[in-house]
Amino acid sequence: MQKMTVFQRFSRSFRENPSLAKILIVFTVSGGGLVAFSEANSDSRINIVNQTEADAKKKRVVVLGTGWAGTSFLKNLKNPSYDVQVISPRNFFAFTPLLPSVTCGTVEPRSIVEPIRNIVRKKNVGIHYWEAECFRIDPENKKVYCRSNLSGDANENEEIVVDYDYLVVSIGARSNTFNIPGVAENCHFLKEIEDAQRIRRTIVDCFERASLPNLSDEERKKILHFVVVGGGPTGVEFAAELHDYVNEDLVKLYPKAKEAVKITLLEATDHILNIDLLNYGFMQVLGFRFDKRITAFAEDKFKRDGIDVKTGAMVVKVSDKEISTKELKNGGAISSMPYGMVVWSTGIGTRPVIMDFMKQIGQGNRRVLATDEWMRVEGNESIYALGDCATINQRKVMEDVWAIFGKADKDNSGSLTVKEFQEVLNDICERYPQVGLYLKNRQMKGLVDLLKDSKGDVVKESVEVSLEEFKSALSQVDSQMKNLPATAQVAAQQGSYLADCFNRMEECEKNPEGPLRFRGEGRHRFHPFSGTSILDNLLHWEESKQLPSSPEIGFRLDTAVSGFGILYMPASKLAHKGIGDIRLGETFHLRKGLEWHLRRQNFEPSYIFFPVF
């Protein structure tokens, strides 16, 4: 039930690498949390928002993280009856799907970030932000322990303890090295703005190094060998961006380098973009089968472009000079190649603070923090986790089959009529979406088909089924369970969903709108999270199809964060730019097909469309 990327799935046996944990030095521990803070500062001339008595009655919501999930939650939270504290080491939201473009200067970092204070200050909800990093969650006492990593006076209070009534954990994930030796030391990651900036500097440094005199051909080729590890969307996009950057811009500045440059893409599975994209509903509605056609398109394009795609090659070691891979097919031969730069983009791992939290709450044997379908951490009513730091542990039908049967069998006859079953079918399909998915995938229309399937063709609507027959009919259903991919879109949708729950918390306590509680009494307060529908995506996009206000880059972050699935960019803004520009219809290989598709549908041709992964 874990959320995993291609590489993670493949490399399950590698253990987590805890060495990435940031080491911070703390001198003073402040007690009492925020209430104490507010009191201590009551003589301050600076206005502290949560000092009034009215505020003291408000529920304290603490949000950890300012990525897609956290920011989406904050943007969509409208109910002013909360006192919200946002804590994150990053005081901005970053539009991460454009990170590969930052590596090559196609997009400036400034164009894809938005100060979190700018996002929250326009709200009618009282929201405070602190630039600090949570290093411990204490669910028992409902406190989080945070440290400021701002350079400053070491003798000052650097530790912040914050009390919460509700905790929203949306701190994302870390790059996963799978403990492969040398990866952390010698590879670049592509997760944060700073990573992208470092990669950009390193690319140019490689070209400058290769231009120095006194180098042999071999040395020059080694320096200009760029290796990308991981054939997922990020790795593929970075390789494509780098290729264009080299061939359209850098060769003009470094004409001698052209013949020495090489880009290699390493992927452990058989294909690049070998990722289950069933959840990318947006692709489906456009009739674009991303998974197969794009893989073939990208592999073929890369071949023509001279990008060396090595599939079935698992990295086993990275030294400061060479990267070693194991051939997974032919007897596992290990080979090494020298490189100038390696970008590591093989998927995500759990952050240490989450691992620690998982141990505290009995999830120590899991790899990813699990929540229920309402994004509550299992067994912790007041803690929610969403985005890349958690995964929804969809409850299996078979675990509850007895309870479902009992609930449906209103007359306690020990057998279920089709009518009885049909009365709870909607609730079942909502509580266990795998049922609906199963019916849809097998092209069944409803219950009768399901029972027919299990009992043969003899079932009629009046027939009753026993518990055993009911079990048998549902036995295959759980195989349809899908994890949501660790994408920006999913995280943003989760944030928006959770904010909506918070907005209507009181209302839904009184009038629950969710499905029947099969194991308990009454109904669930909310509908469970199910991801935004395809139609919603398109509608969102249509709404936001307007000229952006920023003269630098053509998208509006305030709409982009809502998870609409497409970014657009006016070509007119890009035509003038010099080195490192976006080239309309060129840069984003993967997306070219999509853009053409949209053009044929008479969308404005002067826009570039980006599907948001």
Binding residues vs a copy of itself (CB under 8 A): 30, 34, 37, 40-41, 43-48, 91, 105, 108, 110, 115, 117-118, 121, 129-132, 148, 150-153, 156-157, 160, 202, 204-205, 208-209, 211-217, 219-220, 223, 252-257, 259-260, 320-321, 549-552, 573, 576-579
Instruction: Judge residue 278's burial from the number of C-beta atoms within 10 Å of its C-beta, 0-12 exposed, 13-18 middle, 19 or more buried.
Output: middle
Show Cβ contacts of residue 267 under 8 Å, excluding neighbours closer than 6 positions.
Answer: 6, 230, 231, 235, 274, 309, 310, 311, 312, 313
CB of 495 to a copy of itself, least distance (A): 21
Q: How far is the CB of 106 from a copy of itself (least distance, A)?
A: 12
Count CB neighbours of 578 within 10 A. Answer: 7
Q: Phi and psi dihedrals of 39, rounded to 5?
A: -65, -45
Q: How far is the CB of 91 from a copy of itself (least distance, A)?
A: 6
Q: How far is the CB of 172 from a copy of itself (least distance, A)?
A: 19
- Quickly list DSSP for 173-236: -EE--TT-TTHHHH-EE-SSHHHHHHHHHHHHHHHHHHHSSS--HHHHHHHTEEEEE--SHHHH
Is the Cβ of residue 250 or residue 313 nearer to a copy of itself in the bound state?
A: 250
Residue number with CB closer to a copy of itself (214 or 601): 214
Q: Could you give the count of Cα atoms lying within 13 Å of 507 in the half-sphere of its Cβ?
A: 9
Which is nearer to a copy of itself, 129 or 357 (by Cβ)? Answer: 129
Considering beta carbons, is residue 54 or 253 the nearer one to a copy of itself? 253
Q: Which runs of consecutive H residues, i.e. helices, occur in 456-569?
A: 467-474, 488-503, 505-510, 534-544, 557-560
Minimum CB separation of residue 222 from a copy of itself in Å reads 8
**Whole-angstrom distance, CA of residue 380 vs CA of residue 137:** 12
Paired with 385 in beta bridges are 169
Least distance in Å: CB of 280 to a copy of itself?
31
Q: Which is nearer to a copy of itself, 206 or 375 (CB)?
A: 206
Q: Which is nearer to a copy of itself, 156 or 509 (by Cβ)?
A: 156
In the complex with a copy of itself, the residue whose CB is nearer, 217 or 468, is 217
- Strands 92-94 and 113-115, by their bridges, are antiparallel
583 burial via Cβ count (<10 Å: 0-12, 13-18, 19+): middle
d(CA 408, CA 419): 10
Cα of first residue to Cα of last residue in the chain, in angstroms, is: 21
> Is the Cβ of residue 456 or residue 551 nearer to a copy of itself in the bound state?
551
User: What are the distances in angstroms from CA 63 to CA 67, 95, 125, 132, 386?
Assistant: 11, 19, 13, 12, 11
Minimum distance from residue 503 beta carbon to a copy of itself (Å): 25
Least separation in angstroms between CB 214 and a copy of itself: 4
Give the Cα separation of 158 and 396 in Å (integer): 45
CB of 201 to a copy of itself, least distance (A): 10
Shorter beta-carbon distance to a copy of itself: residue 339 or 432: 339
